[in-house]
Amino acid sequence: MVAFEHPHPHGLVPSTAHLELPFFDAHHRQMAPELVAWSAQQQVDETDDRAACRDWLQRLAGGGWLRYCVPAAHGGALPALDSRSLVILRETLAFHSPLADFAFAMQGLGSGAITLAGTPAQQAAYLPAVAAGRKIAAFALSEPDAGSDVAAMATQAVPVAAGYRLNGSKTWISNGDLADFYVVFAKTEPHAGARGISAFIVDARHPGLDSHEHIHVMAPHPLATLRFNDCTLPAEALVGPLHGGFKLAMQTLDIFRASVAAAALGMARRAFAEAVAHAKRRQMFGQTLADFQLTQARLGEMSALIEAAALLTYRAAWQRDCSHTRGAGTPAYTAAAASAKLTATENAQRVIDMALQMFGGRGVQVGQKIESLYRDIRSLRIYEGASEVQLLILGKAALR
C-alpha cells in the first residue's frame, strides 16, 4: 500500500491505492487521481518563497483546489469542510512540493474560523475570495511568550466606542506580510484565561498593523511577526462569540491537525519513493543496494512507519467528518487528530532520515530532494501544536 506507481517522466507519482480503504467515499476516489495528474504537471520556481507561494496559489485556484478550503455556499467544492478531502490534498501536494502544500493549507487554516463561526456578511466578504485565490488568508494565534500555552496570550482587544482597539504582537505567522487578511486572537477578558479570548478579522493594510518583520527558517516559507499598535477595528470584525475565541481556535486546529499529519505523510511517502528508486539503481559490492537484506529491512521499517501514520491520519479525518457531536466540550476526534499529528510527523522525520542515510553523501547535498525534505519535515513536529502538546491532549483524554 505504500508503493508508488512507475516513475513519471517528471518524477515520481504517488499511488492512490489507499483510497480503497473504507474511510473514503466515492467523491474522494474520483478527486484523488485528478489531483495526482494535475500536481505532476506543475513546475514552480521556488527560489523566492514568497513569489513561489503566490504562484502556487494562482495555480491551485486555477485547478479549483482552493475550493476545498471553504463550503459550497461560498464558492467551495463541498457542502462543508471535509477533513478527508483536505487530507488527500495535503498528502498529494506535499509529495510534490511542501511549499504547494503550505500555500494550500494556509488558505484553509486562515479562513477556518470564518467558515466555522463567521457572520453571513463576513463569510460573503472573505470565503469566495479565498476559494478563488483573490485573497490570501492567515491565522494569527502564537505570540513570543504564548506558543503551546495559548491561554497565556498577551495581545489585548479593548472595547472602544468604534469597536475594539488591538495592542500586542503575534509571531511565527505563516503568510505574514503576504496575506490580505489575518484572523487574530486576542484577550478580551484578560483575567479569564482560555475563556477570555476572542477572534477578529484584520485586513492587511489596516492602520495600526505592522507586518514588515519577516522571519527566515531552515525550510523557507513566508513567516512574519505582526505588531498591533492601537489598531482600531469595527465591532463587525469580531468572529464568533465574544470570549469564545479559544474554542474557535481549537476547533479550527482540530480540522487542520489531521491535515498536518497528511502533509507529513506525503513527505514520508516521497522520501520512501526516492529511497526505493535509489536502492534499485545504486550499485555497490557487485550488486544493487536493494539486494542487501539490510536495505530490505530498512525499507520494511519505513513502510510500517508510513502505514501506521496513514491509518491514524485517515481515521482522524474520517472521525471528524462523521462526527455529529460538534459544539459541546472537547470532542472525541480531538484525541484522534492528536494521535495522527503526533505519529505522522514523528514517523515522517524517521522515514526521511532513514531515506537520507541510504543516499549517503548525496543525501546531504544541497539541491537533492531528500536534503530539502529533511529540512521541510522538521517544523511539522512543532507547528499547529508541538508533539508535546499532542501528548498532553492525549494524556488529558485518557484521564477524563
Buried/exposed 246-277: b ≥16 CB within 10 Å, e otherwise: bbbbbbbbbbbbbbbbbbbbbbbbbbbbbbbe
Residue 227 within binding range of ligand COS, rule CB under 6 A: no
What residues from 172 to 211 belong to the interface with ligand COS (CB under 6 A)? 194-195
Q: Which is nearer to ligand COS, 17 or 192 (CB)?
A: 192
Residue 101 within binding range of ligand COS, rule CB under 6 A: no
Instruction: With contacts defined by CB under 6 A, name the span among 59-67, 80-88, 208-216, 378-386 that binds ligand COS.
Output: 378-386
Q: How far is the CB of 146 from ligand COS (least distance, A)?
A: 9
Q: How far is the CB of 175 from ligand COS (least distance, A)?
A: 11
Nearest-angstrom CA–CA distance, 69 and 105: 8
Tell me the catalytic residues.
Answer: 384
Show the CA angle centred on residue 135, arms to residues 201 and 237, nearest 5°.
15
Q: How far is the CB of 328 from ligand COS (least distance, A)?
A: 9
Residue 231 within binding range of ligand COS, rule CB under 6 A: no
Count residues binding ligand COS (CB under 6 A).
Answer: 23
Residue 151 within binding range of ligand COS, rule CB under 6 A: yes
Q: How far is the CB of 392 from ligand COS (least distance, A)?
A: 5
What residues from 14 to 53 belong to the interface with ligand COS (CB under 6 A)? none
Instruction: With contacts defined by CB under 6 A, name the span among 147-155, 262-270, 284-292, 370-378 that binds ligand COS.
Output: 147-155
Instruction: With contacts defined by CB under 6 A, name the span among 1-9, 51-59, 354-362, 383-391 that binds ligand COS.
Output: 383-391
CA dihedral 75, 80, 85, 87 (to 10 degrees): 120
Residue 242 within binding range of ligand COS, rule CB under 6 A: no
Among 2, 19, 370, 393, interactor with ligand COS by CB under 6 A:
393
Residue 246 within binding range of ligand COS, rule CB under 6 A: yes
Per-residue three-class SS string for the chain: CCCECCCECCECCECCHHHHCCCCCHHHHHHHHHHHHHHHCCCCCCCCHHHHHHHHHHHHHHCCHHHHHCEHHHCCCECCCCHHHHHHHHHHHHHHCHHHHHHHHHHHHHHHHHHHHCCHHHHHHHHHHHHCCCCCEEEECCECCECCCHHHCCCEEEEECCEEEEEEEEEEEECCCCCCEEEEEEECCCCCHHHHEEEEEEECCCCCEEEEEECCCCCCCCEEEEEEEEEEEEHHHEECCCCEHHHHHHHHHHHHHHHHHHHHHHHHHHHHHHHHHHHHHCEECCEEHHHCHHHHHHHHHHHHHHHHHHHHHHHHHHHHHHCCCCCCCCCHHHHHHHHHHHHHHHHHHHHHHHHHHHHHHHHHCCCCHHHHHHHHCHHHHCCCCCHHHHHHHHHHHHHC
Residue 384 within binding range of ligand COS, rule CB under 6 A: yes
Among 251, 339, 347, 372, interactor with ligand COS by CB under 6 A:
251
Residue 212 within binding range of ligand COS, rule CB under 6 A: no
Q: How far is the CB of 209 from ligand COS (least distance, A)?
A: 19
Instruction: With contacts defined by CB under 6 A, name the span among 111-119, 155-163, 271-279, 381-389 that binds ligand COS.
Output: 381-389
Residue 254 within binding range of ligand COS, rule CB under 6 A: yes
Q: How far is the CB of 388 from ligand COS (least distance, A)?
A: 9
Residue 142 within binding range of ligand COS, rule CB under 6 A: yes
Residue 87 within binding range of ligand COS, rule CB under 6 A: no
Among 58, 323, 330, 368, interactor with ligand COS by CB under 6 A:
330
Which residues sit at the interface with ligand COS, rule CB under 6 A?
A: 141-142, 148, 150-151, 194-195, 246-247, 250-251, 253-254, 329-331, 334, 383-385, 389, 392-393
